[in-house]
Structure 1
Amino acid sequence: MSRTTLKIPASSPRMLASAIGVALSASSAAQLAQAAEDTEQKGERNSISLGATSITGQEQDTTSYQVEKASSQKYTAPLVDTPRSVTVVPQQVLKDTAATSLQDALRTVPGITFGAGEGGNPQGDRPFIRGFDAQGDTYLDGVRDTGGQSREIFDIESIEVSKGPNSSFGGRGSAGGSINLVSKTPQARDFTNGGFTYGSDQTRRYVIDVNRQFLDDSAAFRLNLMSHEQNVAGRDVINYDRWGVAPSLTFGLGTPTRVNFSYYHMESNDLPDSGIPYGYSNNSATAVHVHDKPTDGGDSSNFYGLKDRDFRKTRADISTVSIEHDLNDNMTLKNTLRHGSTGQDYVLTQPDDSQHNVNRFGTVWRRANTRVSTTDTTTNQTDLFGNFQLAGMKHSYSTGLEFTGEETRVSGYTVSPNANPTCTVAKGSLGGQCTSLSNPTPDDAWTGSVARNYLGTNTKATSRAAYMFDTIELDPKWLLNVGLRYDTFDTQANTNAATGRTKLKDDSQFFNWQAGLVWKPLENGSIYTSYATSASPVGGLVGEGQETNSFVTGVNTSDLKPEETVNYELGTKWDLFHNRLSLTAAVFRTEKKNTRILVDSNTFQNAGESRVDGLELSASGKLTDQWQVFAGYSYLKSELVDPGKIGNRQNVVATGSNKGNQMPNTPENTFSLWTTYDITPKLTIGGGAFYVDQVYGDPANTVYVPSYTRYDAMASYKLTKNIDLQLNVQNLTDKTYYDKAYAAHFANQAAGRTALLTTSFHF
């Protein structure tokens, strides 16, 4: 049977790994002798602004955990003077923690959890920021990065997390915040960086990052390559296999006009984790469930999927052209045009206990979840930014226009049989549908069928926006920060079913704004108060999610207003120890009103409300020349103020109320600490602790995953000027914990103890 539409050669990652290895060997030998000389010759160049990215040939302290300014021109002030909570995860933190994915990287940012891909949500990254779903609020260099993805970071320089509603920055969504990935761009110096990682559970990772100047150093080319293969510690059967390439080319370095071309491609071919089923609290098939948590039958390595049936393949292709021109010393015009196409294709098992098989019979139903989806997005963004002085007050501004067209096509497979059986017998019974809770058998023969089903939904959306930002220096101690954005968002969905075609449409217009007042008692610190809004229209995920803001066939969502979120924040920021260490603190209230709630089986209304009161603390930078820290704490007191009617595990309208309950995927306390210390100029040791409180998976607070603390350790040693060794041990105590909770059926178990040894080259 033919069951894939994303054709990915199985040998591609291995071929790429071989190519990277050859490139590393060749370039290392050729450049070792000249590395020091080249660095000195390139070290005196002046800094060149290339829009959102700083291109410089002068050596900077790239090893610091502190970041002074965000990359986007929409941030019109340094972070210490920005009246909102912003966390930047720099390249050095990514390197020291051995992060390879977006989820790995965001573990260092408290207040963020990840949800599971189910209930209409695609597999991939589904972050929750301050308790609000942000799966559609990820950006790449300031442009929305659409489509369900599991994002790699081999081509990422840093990750910027803006917390609190910020639709004035990016448009629709962003109720709890947004994530901006800053890509690697050509630099005004020559270098070759690379490395290979060997680790436990057959981990093999190869990366190379090459930058070359040409045309009398007025142009530069950069190439990033990655190949990654691994199993998962403490989990049976699961494996991940991916590769990627990201070339970029810049002309006009050092001139008033710069042009950048970039392309990003990544493919993956995985046998994904099927998760651990929730164990219902008694033997009744109709019970109301209270505080049920995952149960693995006594063996945390158990895999409940089918090797003969399960797979997940993904791809991402993103092409970008940006042109930037300095109109004068104080004004720059920039245009960015991007086309992106992402897709994924999977059949995977999700262990289901809808019939209470776990406690009644010690069995699990292998429910098949399928998807074939493709998202195509074209965006043009034009920005004018700079600074001027008016009436004795300094202005740092950014203004722009944005146009985006998106289309998502979602269908899947017909898996037969895929009933909801009572599994009285395990061991591959019912054609492989059922298995044992305590001793599952992934090698069971799948005797059913998997056939491509082309019936599905096509969703299109068009958005237009105008925005402006300004930081006004009222006097040396007082700053006023304002931002405005107006959006139109038109979307329609065509659902193709065997019984006919359904067409749904919605047109929305919404205005968002932010304002913050900053007082600077000293030059290195600030105290601020701010207000910000966001709006989430119907269909805002453009077919790549199944939330209350999506079209639902057979349910009336037409003519509903966008959901509205507001944030009140009071905070302070300080740069201490000669501006080497940044400290921040903030208290806030985020209120989501006008929420779409189900009032009967066929009708939504704008009547719901939820609220989060919180506190956040952070520290990033150097305590001494040898000691670095990247830490944070988040307290989130969440409440479903008016949740409306609710659905039970079978998504049938129930009569109970969730009023006063904790919001799903919103831990009350989260804490992260990562720190390193240079024992000698060659030897560095480090470690981390990451705590996440108990998390509920559903609004009814009936299923949850327990709290956990994970510990990591690191040691690195400079063998030579150009070669480093780094050992990372993640989950040092081999803690069994769960990092994703779904509203029903299952939770995702995190990896066990993982050891990684990386050899890095830099010339």
Structure 2
Amino acid sequence: MPSLTRHRPRLVSSISYSTVCLSLMLGLGAMAPLAAHAQTAERTFSVPASSLGEALSRFASQAGVSLSVDPALVSGRSTPGLSGTYSVDEGFMRLLQGSGLSLQPVGAQAYTLVPAADDAGAMEIAPTAITGVTLPSESLEGERYAGGQVARRSSQGLLGSRDFMESPLSMTTYTSEAVKNNQARTLADLTASDPAVRSTNPAGGRFEQFTIRGFSLFNSDVSYGGLYGIMPTYSIDMEMADRVDILRGPTQLVNGISPRGSVGGGINLVPKRATDKPITEFTGTYASDSQVGGAVDVGRRFGEDNRFGVRFNGVKQSGDTEWDHQKVNREMAVLGLDFRDERLRLSMDVGHTERDTDAPQERVLVSDAAPVPRASDVRHNYAQAWTKAKTSDTFGALRGEYDIDDSLMVYGAVGARKSNHDFVRHNVSILNAAGDFTIQPRDFTRDEDVRTVNAGVRKWFQTGPVSHEVNLAADYFSMDFENGGGRYANRPGNLYNPVATPEPTVRTRTDAKIYTENRFSGVALSDTMGFLEDRVLLTLGARWQRVKVDDWENGIKGETSYDEEKLSPSVGVLFKATDQLSLYANYMEGLSQGKIAPSTSSNEDDIFPPFISRQLEAGAKYDMGKFAITAAVFRIKQPAYETGDAPGPGIRGTFGPSGKRVNDGIELNVFGEPIDGFRLLGGVMYIDSNLEDTNNGGATDGNRAPATPEYNANLGAEWDVPAVQGLTLTARSMYSSSQYLDQANTKEIDSWTRYDVGARYAFKVDETDVTLRGTVENVANSRDWISAGASDDSEPGLTLATPRTFVLSATLGF
């Protein structure tokens, strides 16, 4: 989806404001005489109360003038906005009134914002006809909130680009600065900072998986610039991301159906783009036990008015982890190209990633007869040394936006991915209190082919005192995949005392080849209406969705295919009670692809029909300029699934529906820099998760849903040491309360807490910027089960915490 700002024609989603304005200044300077009248003529403006930088951006865009703004000058300042008939000069004077800032010419056709104390050369805006607003070094969408860890504005799919104070959704956007300073290698490293998100698979495992608000989210449901399905399926490298949007709650209205039907929220990676300032960085990395690597980041703009941009990111890292005989090798190369003109913006991203893991850990399954294993006694890698996970993903996307006129824009995007995956693995299903399990070797291949298309039109207009932003969009998604493999003879294993066994060579069984086609299509319409000078924003929307799935087993069409459709309404309302306080509420529902029976069930790979999820949410957002607090209460409903009890020894249970689950929750998030040099990022989430209308006459009604802790809490802090310029100390804590493994609530894991500490030091050597970073993750080396598996029961099992890990890096900026 493109990223657009409300009431702002000729806007850019994926490019920098500063460079757009520069090209427009050069190209339109000849129109200055025509602008003289425009500067003094009166016209109607509508700029809602907001931060000063946001208000200046909107007003200048509506007025057709250029203004260069240093974000530091407007940080923490707000304005009541304006609505009515003004000249351009009068409008700017009103917005800047009491701000201590004034305008100063910096050239024949350009102006900048300066402190009023330096206004010897300050003046009223001279006649000119230059379009746009310049925010140096970053686009408005990426404008950092105080502290730099979170962006004010984020891409929200169908709803366009919104400031967090103007969005009727709960959302946090983590900046590239947060990615770098957390030394995040994969998406799981970054999401550890968010209390609504938890990882449900071992860090040294075959794949990453998450929960948001207690519901599962797979990597295939992570979007890239708003397009689903083109990110690597099993692990996503963070070096390719400029920002990461985390949206809490169902996302079907804003982004359409996700490939695996996630309902608790969504994650979107924003691609990197070349900036006006040349980028040349090299980062050397080390992670214990002996993972060593390097990353390069190079960006340049060139051509007339810097219209063309190139950004390349490459990564190579390899070595042993803290676990026995476990080695990880990862490689990534992503190239981003973009072009921007007065009305046309184009961008293209192409990338390739490879990841090889020796002895990847699996979730630990617990049989009905066994107690929950003791995590503190697991001291060695229980995966056999001959197991492996080899993944290869090649992906690309092409996007375009074109302004037909000042209030109408069309856009489109296409994306594709080709992936090949090769695994040799075994389940770990504990049989008794001694930790015994049966090693069941299996090789497994999966080939995926994804195609996705999105197109739409966005229109801004007024009907009397009501403003409108209308968006009509259509999308189509296809994914074909084929699974194959075989089984080998079983042999004994033990969780607490692993014994090496020979690598299997002769299959005892060849699995059926499963071929599946997914076809998702949809059309969405939304209208965001502004009342009372845009202090009340009402969004009404609906998305028609069609889900078509066909599967074949050894060339024979399966019985679980389906073709269903649904019209899903959504509504959101936001009230700007004051310049600092926004209140909001929303109702969202959507159709999701049906669950797929896991490998641990007797009906493995069976596909279930689509289901409908529903959310009600209300919240408040308080922006104090340098520090913000957001709060939300929510209810999400969706069908529940479970793998039934095994009918006998050695026989797997059957996976299927079992009533529904209702998650009632409360969230509180904080971010910013409340005191100069001291930054906070974190929050707490409470979930009351109940099962209703379950199988066997409601035998588990009222029980807590599996794998859903009652409390999650995170708090990260950074402190710039006053006595040593450039030195910052960091700390982070994470907590989750106990979780049940099953719907019957008979097996439970304890709560867990993790502490990370670190430091970074930034300095210069001649003209080279150097930043040294060091972090100790899980500094107490706690041995805990951090997850009871996927919350929907499709992938049960315990996830073991990563041991104490040292992560070091050095970034050189040339």
Q: Tell me the TM-score normalized by structure 2.
A: 0.75
Alignment map for 1:132-143 (pairs within 5 Å): 132-135=215-218, 136-143=220-227
Q: Find the structure with the greater CA-based Rg.
A: 2
Is 1:739–1:750's contact at 8 Å kept on the other side of the alignment? yes
What amino acid is aligned across from residue 692 of structure 1 in structure 2? S
Change (3 A) 1:572 1:385: same
More helix by share: 2
2:550 corresponds to 1:492? yes
Q: 1:210, CA displacement in angstroms?
A: 0.3
Structure 1: distance between partners of 2:515 and 2:132: 44
2:190 corresponds to 1:101? no
Provide the residue aligned with 1:546 in structure 2: 597
The partner residue of 2:471 within 393, 398, 418 is: 398
Alignment map for 1:66-81 (pairs within 5 Å): 66-76=150-160, 77-81=162-166
Structure 2: distance between partners of 1:141 and 1:451: 45
Change (3 A) 1:350 1:386: same
Provide the residue aligned with 2:708 in structure 1: 666
Higher relative contact order (CA 8 A, sep 6+): 1
Is 1:278–1:703's contact at 8 Å kept on the other side of the alignment? no
Change (3 A) 1:376 1:396: same
Change (3 A) 1:272 1:265: same
2:778 corresponds to 1:728? no
Change (3 A) 1:68 1:113: same
Structure 1: distance between partners of 2:153 and 2:143: 17
Q: 1:205, CA displacement in angstroms?
A: 2.7
Alignment map for 1:101-500 (pairs within 5 Å): 101-116=186-201, 123-135=206-218, 136-145=220-229, 148-172=233-257, 173-216=261-304, 217-233=306-322, 235-251=323-339, 253-275=340-362, 277=364, 287=369, 292-295=371-374, 299-307=377-385, 309-354=386-431, 356=432, 358-359=433-434, 363-412=436-485, 414-418=486-490, 433-442=491-500, 444-446=501-503, 448-450=505-507, 453=510, 455-476=512-533, 477-496=535-554
Provide the residue aligned with 2:633 in structure 1: 587
The partner residue of 1:689 within 733, 737, 748 is: 733
Structure 2: distance between partners of 1:599 and 1:510: 33
Change (3 A) 1:405 1:555: closer
Q: 1:331, CA displacement in angstroms?
A: 2.6
Provide the residue aligned with 2:571 in structure 1: 515
Q: 1:209, CA displacement in angstroms?
A: 0.8
Is 1:350–1:746's contact at 8 Å kept on the other side of the alignment? no
The partner residue of 2:804 within 753, 757, 760 is: 753
SS in structure 2 of the partner of residue 94 of structure 1: helix
Structure 2: distance between partners of 1:599 and 1:686: 47
Provide the residue aligned with 1:526 in structure 2: 582
Q: 1:402, CA displacement in angstroms?
A: 0.7
Structure 2: distance between partners of 1:437 and 1:537: 35
Structure 2: distance between partners of 1:380 and 1:170: 12
Structure 2: distance between partners of 1:258 and 1:487: 29
Is 1:417–1:448's contact at 8 Å kept on the other side of the alignment? no
Superposed CA offset, 1:221-280 (max 9, x none): 1100011224333x22222111000011112x3432122121011001111433475677
Structure 2: distance between partners of 1:493 and 1:482: 36
Say how many residue pairs are matched.
Answer: 664
Is 2:785–2:798's contact at 8 Å kept on the other side of the alignment? yes
Q: 1:555, CA displacement in angstroms?
A: 7.1
What amino acid is aligned across from residue 747 of structure 1 in structure 2? L
Identity of aligned residues (%): 22
Q: 1:668, CA displacement in angstroms?
A: 0.5
Q: 1:707, CA displacement in angstroms?
A: 1.3
Provide the residue aligned with 2:675 in structure 1: 624
SS in structure 2 of the partner of residue 722 of structure 1: strand
Structure 2: distance between partners of 1:210 and 1:93: 19
Superposed CA offset, 1:397-456 (max 9, x none): 3321111222111112x23213xxxxxxxxxxxxxx2234443233x3235535994732
Which range moves more in the overlay, 741-750 or 688-697? 741-750
Structure 2: distance between partners of 1:93 and 1:486: 37
Q: 1:639, CA displacement in angstroms?
A: 0.8
Is 2:273–2:309's contact at 8 Å kept on the other side of the alignment? no
Is 1:717–1:726's contact at 8 Å kept on the other side of the alignment? yes
Is 2:206–2:357's contact at 8 Å kept on the other side of the alignment? no
Alignment map for 1:696-715 (pairs within 5 Å): 696-715=740-759
Is 1:113–1:665's contact at 8 Å kept on the other side of the alignment? no
Over aligned residues, Cα RMSD in angstroms? 3.6
SS in structure 1 of the partner of residue 513 of structure 2: strand
What amino acid is aligned across from residue 668 of structure 2 in structure 1? L
The partner residue of 2:760 within 716, 722, 726 is: 716
SS in structure 2 of the partner of residue 274 of structure 1: coil
Structure 2: distance between partners of 1:486 and 1:130: 25
SS in structure 1 of the partner of residue 594 of structure 2: coil
Is 1:275–1:350's contact at 8 Å kept on the other side of the alignment? yes
Superposed CA offset, 1:598-645 (max 9, x none): 899999998722101110000112213311111111001101112225
Is 1:568–1:590's contact at 8 Å kept on the other side of the alignment? yes
What amino acid is aligned across from residue 448 of structure 2 in structure 1? T
Is 1:315–1:342's contact at 8 Å kept on the other side of the alignment? yes
Structure 2: distance between partners of 1:554 and 1:757: 42
2:697 corresponds to 1:639? no
Q: 1:588, CA displacement in angstroms?
A: 1.3
Is 1:597–1:608's contact at 8 Å kept on the other side of the alignment? no
Which range moves more in the overlay, 745-754 or 687-696? 745-754
Change (3 A) 1:662 1:123: farther
Alignment map for 1:2-17 (pairs within 5 Å): none
Is 1:574–1:583's contact at 8 Å kept on the other side of the alignment? yes
2:148 corresponds to 1:64? yes
Change (3 A) 1:556 1:56: closer
Is 1:472–1:481's contact at 8 Å kept on the other side of the alignment? yes
Change (3 A) 1:88 1:409: same
SS in structure 1 of the partner of residue 190 of structure 2: helix
What amino acid is aligned across from residue 628 of structure 2 in structure 1? S
Q: 1:594, CA displacement in angstroms?
A: 9.0
Which range moves more in the overlay, 77-86 or 695-704? 695-704
Change (3 A) 1:491 1:207: same
Structure 1: distance between partners of 2:785 and 2:131: 45
Unaligned runs of 5+ in 1: 1-39, 281-285, 419-432, 540-544, 646-654
Q: 1:54, CA displacement in angstroms?
A: 6.7
Structure 2: distance between partners of 1:696 and 1:272: 27
Change (3 A) 1:257 1:453: farther
Superposed CA offset, 1:69-116 (max 9, x none): 112452344211211211222222222222111111111111222334
2:621 corresponds to 1:573? yes
Change (3 A) 1:745 1:468: closer
SS in structure 2 of the partner of residue 466 of structure 1: strand
What amino acid is aligned across from residue 784 of structure 2 in structure 1? Y
What amino acid is aligned across from residue 350 of structure 2 in structure 1? Y
Q: 1:56, CA displacement in angstroms?
A: 7.8
Which range moves more in the overlay, 604-613 or 749-758? 604-613
